[in-house]
Amino acid sequence: MLILAIESSCDDTAAAVLEDNRQVLSNVINSQFEVHARYGGIVPELASRCHIENIWPVVHEALDAAGISLTEIELIAATRGPGLVGSLLVGFTFAKAVALVNSIPCTGVDHMAGHLLAVMLEEQRPAFPYTALVVSGGNTSLFTVNSTTEFLLQGRTRDDAAGEAFDKVAKLLQLGYPGGPVVGKLAEKGNPKAIAFPRAWLDQGSLDFSFSGLKTSVVNYVNRCRQKNLPLPVADICASFEQAVVDVLVEKTILAAKKSGHKRVVIGGGVAANSQLRSQISNRCSEEGMDAFIPSPVYCTDNAAMIGLAGYYQFAKGATVGPDADAFSRSPLN
Ligand code: KG4
């Protein structure tokens, strides 16, 4: 089955063509970084306008790169939520319209399901069940994944998402947007033990997260330096902040796996592209006799290939949408 997948939940317009659940024939991503960089974060209205301009060219590019024409497509899968509603509506409405005009079935995919299954696009796929951490700009949640369509929430952030914390720290240090990649790069040159930023473990055994206290602690540290006219140790701040985030993400993920008796651990979402998180989760898993499965960075950040894959499984269970289906801003999974 040839699938055209569309993702537009935030600031990336993405399209992919897949053959069944196995082969990604093309995976095109048009990022709006430059549009939003000057504002230090995403401006929803600008994001929707950019999606409108980009959607057709990106879909054409994905079809061309795959060598497939629209008439050969047998399923259209598009992100239905969660995300910015204005952005979601562009991709989802486009998908429903193209499906209707061309008599192709259409399925609306939960973006979280895409991140939870993205690892299945790799050669090495985990067997079910597994523990999965989805960590991005909008979410930080732990799930038990029992099958390609069954996801059970185990814990979630009570305030900021981890990626949001990376972005806010980058904004504070005037490092640009998105913050995660640049903070991660600078962290490589800093000392992770230089500044004792707090780790929010919450109640004993809790699988929930909280990053707002850590963010405030970084703000206070930077303000103190500025008030005293001290030079900002930017690399040390980045390394110490990153370490505080990664310690909590890794230990809570291991705890969730232990609680569920799982031997397989998966991470996904934009922050899963962070090299410190990738190496620390791999090391801790091997210490615990668990296997870590980590998608390549292109399948961690937002992409349409993972939406096509999740859509394939959803369609196999008979879930299609009609032209009147609406987008949703919050995930029922989360
Ligand atoms: O999954 P994603 O592309 O979009 C959604 O939020 O759904 O994730 C984007 C987030 C941003 O907050 C970005 O700063 C963060 O992922 N990110 C990273 C890295 N690459 C992207 N955070 C830390 N280290 C990275 N290398």
For the chain, list the domains and their CATH numbers. Answer: 2-115+300-316 (3.30.420.40), 123-294 (3.30.420.40)
Distance 167 CA to ligand 1 centre (A): 8
State whether the beta carbon of 242 lies less than 6 angstroms from ligand 1: no
Nearest CA to ligand 1 atom 2: 270
Q: What is the mean pLDDT of the chain?
A: 97
* Dihedral sign of CA atoms 22, 154, 321, 89 in order: negative
Percent of the chain residues past pLDDT 90, beyond the cut: 96
Give which of 179, 176, 161 is closest to 39, Cα–Cα.
176
The predicted structure's pLDDT at residue 40: 80
- Over residues 178-232, the pLDDT tens digits come to 899 999 999 999 999 999 999 999 999 999 999 999 999 999 999 999 999 999 9
User: Ligand 1 within 6 A of 306 CB?
Assistant: no
Nearest CA residue ID for atom 1, ligand 1: 270
pLDDT of residue 37: 86
Q: How confident is the model at residue 223, as a pLDDT?
A: 97
Reported as a single tens digit per residue, the pLDDT across 103-132 is 999 999 999 999 999 999 999 999 999 999
Tell me if 273 CB under 6 Å of ligand 1. Answer: yes
The whole-number pLDDT of residue 80 equals 98
For residue 22, the model assigns a pLDDT of 80
Q: Is 190 in the pocket of ligand 1 (CB under 6 A)?
A: no
CA of 118 to the centre of ligand 1 (A): 15
Residue 177 has pLDDT above 90, yes or no: no
| Pocket-testing residue among 300, 301, 306, 329, ligand 1, by greatest number of atoms within 8 A of Cβ | 301
CA 11 to chain centre: 12
Which whole number is the average pLDDT over 41-60?
96
Q: Is the CB of 138 under 6 A from ligand 1?
A: yes
Residue 259, CA distances (Å) to 130, 131, 206, 256, 264 in order: 12, 10, 11, 5, 12
How far apart CA 63 and CA 230 sit, in angstroms, is 54
The residue contributing the CA closest to ligand 1 atom 3 is 301
Burial class of 199 by CB neighbour count within 10 A (0 to 12, 13 to 18, 19+):
middle
Rounded to the nearest 10 degrees, how much is the dihedral formed by the CA atoms of 237, 239, 241, 246? 180
Contacts of 260 (CB under 8 A, 6+ apart): 129, 131, 144, 154
Whether 29 shows a pLDDT value over 90: the answer reads yes
Distance (Å, rounded) from C-alpha 193 to C-alpha 213?
18
Detail the DSSP E strand segments found in the chain. 2-7, 12-19, 23-31, 75-81, 106-110, 130-135, 140-145, 151-156, 264-268, 291-293
Distances in Å between the alpha carbon of 3 and those of 15, 106, 279, 311? 10, 10, 33, 9
Structure tokens at 82: 């969660």
Q: How many residues does the chain have?
A: 334
Q: Is 264:254 a contact under the CB 8 Å cutoff? A: no
Residue nearest to atom 8 of ligand 1 (CA): 270
Closest Cα to atom 10 of ligand 1:
137
